[in-house]
Amino acid sequence: MSEPVWIHPPRGFYTQNHRGQRTCLRLLRSLYGLRTAPLMFFEYCHAAFVELGFTSCSQDRCLLLRHNCIVVLYVDDAGIAAPSEAIINALIRDLESLGMQLTREGSFVEFLGIKFTPQPNGAIELTQKGLITKILDAMDMRHCAVNKTPTTQLGLGSDPDGPPMHETWSYPSIVGMLLYLSTNTRPDIAYAVSQVARFGTKPKQSHAVAVKMIARYLQGTLDKGMIVRPCTTLGLEAYVDADFAGLYQREPDHVLDAARSRTGYVISLGGCPILWRSQLQTEIALSTVAAEYYALSQCMRVVLPLRALILETLTVLQHPAHCPTKFKCKVFGDNLGACYLATNHRLTSRTKYFLVKYHHFWDAVNREEVQVEKVDTALQNADYLTKGLAPEPYLANRHRVQGWLVHINGEPYIKVHTLGAQS
């Protein structure tokens, strides 16, 4: 412990000084559950990896890089990637020689509750069937009917006059598990979960019904998740969308959220989704162009650090097949006005009220580090992150992002068509 921390003696352990007064204890080492314990444990692990020649990524200290190895730390779990198993075994021996007690979990088949299943065609499927089963069991919906979509096409409001929730399961607990699921392997429920997460304190029965609809959708997609396919080119692509004042007439006029727009984006690396988000915007947009441009700016705040992280990783690894100067980064939006403003940088009387912080990515566009392009609405991969869609467009969107379809009697529920050069 670098700073003094005092605690009461444990129950059953009596201490007193020479005057007969009860005393307290000062910690010399960290205890599990202490507020500073996670940081201390990370510093301990980080020092060991630095001694073995690793450096922390400037964008994420939990990502450790060496010319022949990548390590990601998550509290007391670590994932190691290297060209050969011999390098991994040598790293483990080196860590053990430094006094670290390690448990070898073997091949990378499960990490943080996410199961990695290799496919015959070289793809890898990421699933969280155990967590979904836990959610269904907690709600007593293990054998419920199945929904094709996780939400209705109407936005979910606060329903101030609705009856209170009368279900027996814990609303915050279920929503918490759904949030973990939606942020790891299931972007298809991100919009639906974002809606129900707004009402964790005093949920109404209508909000519980919305959670049950998500559960029915998960029941039909129990063993589905994210499909990662091998690719020959490495590039960063982001699809960003916004829903202008989507809660209008779904919330009372005095509720501020009624005027908020929703941002949705999905970012893919080499065709594999790695990060996505669906959330209400913090500021009220005055037009569709403003809402789309706000969403574009929010997405850029994530894209630019990700681009820097990937380039730094490639530089450290010195990968011969992917030269950093050829690394492409594209952002697609379906609003022509927002794309025009992002690429031409011309403020007019209708756009000059935008705050300066929403133009922060202009320099990156000028340096051609990021390309902003218009995409057809039918190919907007972030569409199902901003609004409720009908079954057919929803499933088509999910197929483009996650790579799988629902089959009925052995046949796909929908047919996916290729539109133009981008598919």
Q: What is the mean pLDDT of residues 63-92?
A: 91
Is pLDDT at 258 greater than 90 in this prediction? no
Cα dist from 417 to 4, 22, 239, 401, 404, whole Å: 65, 77, 19, 14, 14
Q: What is the mean pLDDT of residues 370-394?
A: 91
Query: SS3 of 184, please?
Result: helix
Is pLDDT at 332 greater than 70 in this prediction? yes
Is pLDDT at 407 greater than 70 in this prediction? no
Band of pLDDT at residue 408, cut at 50, 70 and 90:
very low
What domains can be seen in the chain, in order of their start residue?
Answer: 6-108 (no CATH), 127-220 (no CATH), 232-388 (3.30.420.10)
**Percent share of the chain, pLDDT over 70:** 91
- Specify the pLDDT at position 405: 67
Query: SS3 of 125, please?
Result: strand
User: Which of these, 255, 250, 163, 275, lies nearest to 209 by C-alpha position?
Assistant: 163
Is pLDDT at 10 greater than 60 in this prediction? yes
Question: What is the rounded CA–CA span in Å between residue 171 and residue 186?
Answer: 20
- pLDDT tens-digit readout, 279-330: 999 888 888 988 999 999 999 999 999 999 988 888 888 755 544 456 788 9
Cα dist from 39 to 43, 46, 159, 262, whole Å: 6, 10, 42, 34
Q: How many residues does the chain have?
A: 423
Q: What is the mean pLDDT of residues 342-362?
A: 72
Band of pLDDT at residue 409, cut at 50, 70 and 90:
very low
- Specify the pLDDT at position 229: 84
Cα angle 343, 348, 353; round to 5 = 100
Question: What is the rounded CA–CA span in Å between residue 220 and residue 138?
Answer: 17
- Specify the pLDDT at position 67: 87
State whether the Cα torsion 292-293-298-304 is positive or negative: positive
Q: Are 197 and 175 in contact (CB under 8 A)?
A: yes
Is pLDDT at 9 greater than 60 in this prediction? yes
- Specify the pLDDT at position 95: 93
The Cα diameter of the chain in Å comes to: 87
Residue 343's identity, in one-letter code, is T
- Specify the pLDDT at position 413: 52
Return the bridge partners of 263, or none.
Answer: 242, 279
Q: What is the mean pLDDT of residues 349-364?
A: 73
- pLDDT tens-digit readout, 220-251: 999 999 888 887 777 899 999 999 988 887 88
- Specify the pLDDT at position 421: 35
Is pLDDT at 2 greater than 70 in this prediction? yes
Question: What mean pLDDT value characterizes the chain?
Answer: 86
Is pLDDT at 419 greater than 90 in this prediction? no
Main-chain phi, psi angles of 380, to 5 degrees = -80, 105
Q: How far is CA 222 from the centre of its chain?
A: 19
